[in-house]
Amino acid sequence: MMSSKYKILIVDDEPLNVELLSVYLGDRYEIITSYNGKDALDKLKKESPDLILLDVMMPEMDGYHVCRIIRNELKMDFLPIIMITALTDKADHQRGIEAGADEFLKKPVGKFELDKKIDSLLRIKEHHDNLLTEKNRAYHYLDYVGVLVAVLDLDYRIKHINKKGSDFLGYGLDKLLDREWVQSFIPTVSVNAICRHYDGLVSGASKPYEYCEFPIIISTGEERLFRWYDSSLLDNSGNTIGVLISGEDITEIKEAEKQLKEYAYQLERSNDLKDLFTDVMRHDLLNPAGLIKSFVGLLTELETDDYKKRLLGNVTEATEKLISMIDDAAHLAKLESVDDISFVKVDIRSLIVDTVDSFMHQIHERDMDVKFLLGCECCAIANPMVERVFVNLLSNSIKYSPRGSTITIDIADVGDKWKISFIDQGDGIPNTSKASVFERFKRLHKEDIRGTGIGLAIVKRIMDLHKEIINVEDNPEGQGSVFWLTLKKDV
């Protein structure tokens, strides 16, 4: 059982002094003892004390040196340090202050004075720790929000940004903090307008949360259009200390609006509603579904009741299936509107290994094994979308195979092509159904598996665009199926 007492590290090269202080404090605190500076630093890292009582005059490494290491090298700015010394000169106290000590006590130390100093410093530390916890919790919650959220100081430098924001921009947090926002991420033609907007928020001339749109430049050099709701940040005295920016990527939405106009023109002539429905489904359903998933995740994090957590888990599972269905249907519709694709050199062995790695959680959950029959580098001429084929085939193999079974992935050399096979040990597919498994919304009935049957239709369409073969056969070595495809070699 963990102790609820505060930990105090006592550092003194005189054992009697350590014993006296331990007697004074042992009833109220958990005591850690050390008799030299080097050992004290080691115990500090291992034990994480809440306060240090530090002797000044010690051999090899004195208290001033230990204190400077704690403050400057270990960056423990808020760990209370009380220096205990027989020195009475003001210059010695000044050295202690410069080294980072919080308080001084003169030897011999009185128990009453010692208790008061410790109580005072621990109350301050507890207040700081609580504030830090609340700040970290607030930043943690921001990471669940599906929009870019950042805090800018009065020089418009980034002081905090949530994970979604760093993902949008394509940089790690270490590359973003303290970076100048306007000069780094705003296109030149928009800089003056954005500066006027922020200046207005800081001065109070602009209304907070007033909607505006302007682009940003992400790590790839691409411009993305964002919808922004910004406000000024105030301290406890009402003084402006920065700007809070909150933006949603609407590039696809704006592009969709343009496409919808074109769709409307075409619909007047052809009365074909399929493309319009697909676009509405992709953009108007997927975003709300994603928001539902994010907020349910936040509620799950906050919920303590196990029954309610199970209900929220059911909502999350259903939402994930909805998102997958919308994404698959939209992806298939997009593929069906494409006639020509470009081809590049791809290492199919590497793509398959990466695909398997991405499914390791599901594989372990079902106690399954994946066996590779792969050679060295197997380069083919293909479009990168072929990775979606491997993802869908492996996902199918996992879903329709029994627990504890083995999935075998084989790449065979067949002349000028590679033959890639996904071999499972599932129930197999009747001969009468083999021809229809690649048709959209066709799926063999299986009570414990839910799906739309779109996945294999996507596989078939991608292979058609490659002008290659995709087929299914019975597993020649026993129960199950073999889904195989061909890709042209890079020669």
pLDDT for position 448: 41
Between these two residues, 326 and 38, which has the higher pLDDT value? 38
Q: Are residues 19 and 128 in the same domain?
A: yes
Predicted confidence at residue 2, as pLDDT, reads: 46
**How many domains does the chain divide into?**
4
CATH at 234: 3.30.450.20
Residues 350, 475, single domain; the answer is yes
The whole model's pTM is what? 0.40
Judge whether 308 and 434 are in contact, CB under 8 Å.
Answer: no
Q: What domain range is 294 assigned to?
A: 259-336
**Largest Cα–Cα distance of the chain, in whole Å?**
98
pLDDT score of 487:
94
Q: Residue 123 is encoded by which pair of tokens?
A: 């109350």
Shared domain check, 377 and 476: yes
- Local confidence band at 278 (pLDDT 50, 70, 90 cut-offs): low
Residue 1 lies in a domain: no
The token duo for 261 is: 């106009």
356 shares a domain with 481 = yes
- What does the pLDDT look like over 402-445, one tens digit per residue? 999 999 999 999 989 999 999 999 988 888 888 788 876 555 54
pLDDT at 330: 65
Q: Domain of 98: which CATH number?
A: 3.40.50.2300
Q: Choose the weakest-confidence range: 7-11, 84-88, 461-465.
A: 84-88
pLDDT of residue 176: 92
Are both 122 and 29 inside the same structural domain? yes
* pLDDT tens digits, one per residue of 75-115: 888 899 999 887 767 787 888 888 889 888 888 888 898 99
Do 476 and 348 belong together in one domain?
Answer: yes
For 452, phi and psi rounded to 5 degrees?
-105, -10
Query: Please, which pLDDT band fits residue 146 given cuts at 50, 70 and 90?
Result: low
Question: Tokens for 351?
Answer: 């793509």
Of 313, 336, 359, at which residue does a domain stop?
Answer: 336
Beta carbons of 192 and 278 less than 8 angstroms apart: no
Confidence of residue 247 (pLDDT cuts 50, 70, 90): confident
Reported as a pLDDT band with limits 50, 70 and 90, residue 1 is: very low
Q: Report the pLDDT value the prediction gives residue 326, as an integer from 0 to 100.
A: 67
Q: Are residues 406 and 463 in the same domain?
A: yes
Q: What is the pLDDT of residue 69?
A: 93
On the CB side of 17, how many CA atoms lie within 13 Å of its CA? 21
Q: What is the pLDDT of residue 451?
A: 43
Residues 207 and 310 occupy one common structural domain: no
Residue 116 has pLDDT above 70, yes or no: yes
Domain termination site, one of 124, 140, 156: 140
Evaluate if residue 134 carries a pLDDT over 80: no
Among 285, 248, 284, 298, residue whose Cα is nearest residue 146? 248
- Residue with token string 């390791």: 360
Q: Where is pLDDT greater, at 129 or 361?
A: 361
- DSSP string computed for 343-359: -EEEEHHHHHHHHHHHT
Contacts of residue 167, Cβ cutoff 8 Å, sequence gap at least 6? none
The answer to whether position 254 is within a domain reads no
In this structure, of 1-15, 263-277, 302-316, 476-490, the range with the lowest mean pLDDT score is: 263-277
- Which CATH number do you get for residue 464? 3.30.565.10
For residue 189, what is the DSSP state? G
Q: Are residues 13 and 49 in the same domain?
A: yes
| 51 within a domain of the structure (yes/no) | yes
Q: At a CB cut-off of 8 Å and minimum separation 6, what does 324 contact? A: none
Q: What is residue 403's predicted lDDT score, i.e. its pLDDT?
A: 92
Q: Do residues 331 and 348 both lie within one domain?
A: no
Q: What are phi and psi of 324, to 5 degrees?
A: -60, -40
HEC string for 268-294: HHHCCCHHHHHHHHHHHHHHHHHHHHH
pLDDT, residue 445, reads 46
Question: Considering only 50-54, 219-223, 311-315, which range has the smallest mean pLDDT?
Answer: 311-315
What proportion of the chain, given as a percentage, has pLDDT over 90? Answer: 35
Residues 237 and 206 in one domain: yes
Of residues 179 and 448, more confidently modeled: 179
Domain annotation covers residue 449: yes
Among 108-117, 207-216, 219-228, the range scoring the smallest mean pLDDT is 207-216
Percent of the chain with pLDDT over 70: 84
* Chain mean pLDDT for the chain: 83
Question: Which of 305, 336, 367 delimits the end of a domain?
Answer: 336
Q: How high is the pLDDT of residue 157?
A: 94
For residues 256-266, give the mean pLDDT: 76
- Residue 40 predicted with pLDDT over 60: yes
Please indicate, yes or no, whether residues 480 and 419 belong to a single structural domain of this protein: yes
Higher pLDDT pick, 115 / 273: 115
Using the predicted structure, report yes or no on whether residue 491 has a pLDDT greater than 90: no
Let me know if residue 472 belongs to a domain: yes
Residue 223 confidence (pLDDT) above 90: yes
Phi/psi-derived region of residue 280, left when phi > 0, alpha when psi is between -120 and 50, beta in every other case = alpha
pLDDT at 91: 80
Domain assignment present for 69: yes
